[in-house]
Structure 1
């Protein structure tokens, strides 16, 4: 890592951190005035019921500073500007989808939020930007490498575009499901984006993606000051969707599509718990978990929020370590 790269990363992380800390006292009262309070499901643990009315849509606290810091400090030479545009389109685009969903639900008081069809159409369009940009504009090809077995398979354009769509939709959904406890998703994002910034993006020479990742880390750290227990504001879909979009973009642009399944394993487990719960109830009328996503199951077993956070953050650290061991083989297949 050169001194210039180190300065870029440090500056981006610091600006995003300070920006998020500065935005908190502005955004929290604003959301209160808009009456953008969170509704708590009746079946949740008793400790959650006291959180009813806590402002949401707090993802703007970290997304805005992170995007500005990225624009200020990311390099633009060679393919960097194109990658940056694609990644920011995915991040901002998903953030806007989440913002619309939040606004309809908590401000306009329409409980269903943005229609599923409209949300899916927006994600299809964003996936098309990512897939076309990666394959046709950047010339990254359609081959993927499977971690640990280090087998590279060329999917061809139709299958690869389908994979990108699944990644975009699946990652945004999985990250969204992981947002349910004070500080949970913010902490998971710090771990995941640190790995992608420092160990993946820099390893493939993409300082631009590293700057974006570190800016999101700094923004999330600043947001955690307001989102730590007891949370003064929740992230909302505007934040979780933006994080999911950014993560999917980084995985595709760094050619580590299947590595994300390992590094983002906690997100995968969360979404699988929801799928299993829904499938079991529809097929048998019984639930596998006390409540899904999985973090709520542990809460209803009597675990404190702190215990659940330590379990999930610890699992995320172990999975990123596993991803680190798989990384050389994945990068070798590029």
Structure 2
């Protein structure tokens, strides 16, 4: 069983690998001219970010992969969560490549991304239902009881994975926002995994935490690089799979409440505009709404980080009942 010391060492190793890779990868991205294009309808303060290199998620993915594989705690669960991270990262990478290298603004078509995400999710669902001692059961927070989904388990897991990955993708709209929120969420899951005896998952969470922390060195305001869909999709796939392997999917809307709020704001905005012609928010996702209300970007990020920390504490209470 992994100890606190080993978890901290894992975080530190991933952190320093990210710090080392940043100055190597970012200049390469500059030379390749893979700069982020900014939407004209977005907050005007974001126009200065145009041209900032994207696809920086490659830095985090590399740090996570190196740290996890060399941890000495390699097993099937670790391979599954790495598979999810790399697969979703690949979908994001292809999308980024089409947009910033081939200069096709829309990237992958929606059905192409959705199909790929569902296939990956179904593979994860079948693995967990056949390997886990809990089978098709999921833990209900605050009740300390398991709910057996039976035949509904696979479609449920597919929904969780796709929803989480795309929610994290929507959260990645401000400097340091998605990386910081995921840093806190992965720290939460690392503590749970360690205390519950999921050693390989705890190591992966530690690697993820360290990578997010190191990436903030380059992604915090003012960002020198963006993670792009390469990073945000990889983070979303990782968070979802971590929760699935520990049967804690119902905790994602709690500890990942910011992800949930960002996605919900987009859904509400689209439905409201189509039905009534009116917008509920000044702009969606939610972080842009607060920017247009006059909040500085750094304030929005700090508040959303703080909310995530509080929600993770709530999540810990939900598991202690």
Distance in 2 separating the partners of 1:99 and 1:140: 34
Aligned partner (choices 147, 159, 168) of residue 166 of structure 1: 159
- 1:151: how far off? 4.4
Distance in 2 separating the partners of 1:262 and 1:213: 18
Which residue number corresponds to residue 35 of structure 1?
Answer: 33
Cα pair 1:74 1:207 within 8 Å, conserved: no
Which residue number corresponds to residue 293 of structure 2?
Answer: 301
Cα pair 1:11 1:73 within 8 Å, conserved: no
- Within the alignment, does 1:146 sit opposite 2:144 as a pair? no
- 1:74: how far off? 4.7
Which residue number corresponds to residue 276 of structure 1?
Answer: 268
Distance in 2 separating the partners of 1:310 and 1:13: 22
Which residue number corresponds to residue 118 of structure 2?
Answer: 124
> Number of residues paired by the alignment?
321
Written as runs of structure 1 = structure 2, the 5 A alignment for 1:12-91 is: 12-76=10-74, 81-91=75-85
- Within the alignment, does 1:185 sit opposite 2:153 as a pair? no
Give the TM-score of the pair, scaled to structure 2.
0.97
- Residue 73 of structure 1 aligns to a residue in which SS? coil
- Residue 54 of structure 1 aligns to a residue in which SS? coil
- 1:288: how far off? 0.6
- 1:203: how far off? 2.4
- Residue 139 of structure 2 aligns to a residue in which SS? strand
Distance in 2 separating the partners of 1:8 and 1:101: 36
- Within the alignment, does 1:205 sit opposite 2:205 as a pair? no
Distance in 2 separating the partners of 1:205 and 1:310: 32
Cα pair 2:36 2:54 within 8 Å, conserved: yes
Alignment root-mean-square deviation, CA:
1.3
Cα pair 1:101 1:114 within 8 Å, conserved: yes
Q: Note the alpha carbon deviations across 1:243-266, whole angstroms, 9 max, x for none.
A: 111111111100111012211111
Give the TM-score of the pair, scaled to structure 1.
0.93
Which residue number corresponds to residue 102 of structure 1?
Answer: 96
Distance in 1 separating the partners of 2:182 and 2:292: 24
Distance 1:325 1:256, change over 3 A: same
- 1:139: how far off? 4.2
- Residue 224 of structure 1 aligns to a residue in which SS? helix
Which 5+ residue runs of structure 2 have no aligned equivalent? Answer: none
Q: Note the alpha carbon deviations across 1:141-186, whole angstroms, 9 max, x for none.
A: 1122322244432110x20101100011000011111101111111
Which residue number corresponds to residue 155 of structure 1?
Answer: 149
Which residue number corresponds to residue 243 of structure 2?
Answer: 251
- 1:61: how far off? 1.2
Which residue number corresponds to residue 188 of structure 2?
Answer: 195
Which 5+ residue runs of structure 1 have no aligned equivalent? Answer: 330-334
Distance in 2 separating the partners of 1:172 and 1:237: 10
- Residue 313 of structure 1 aligns to a residue in which SS? helix
Distance in 2 separating the partners of 1:113 and 1:166: 22
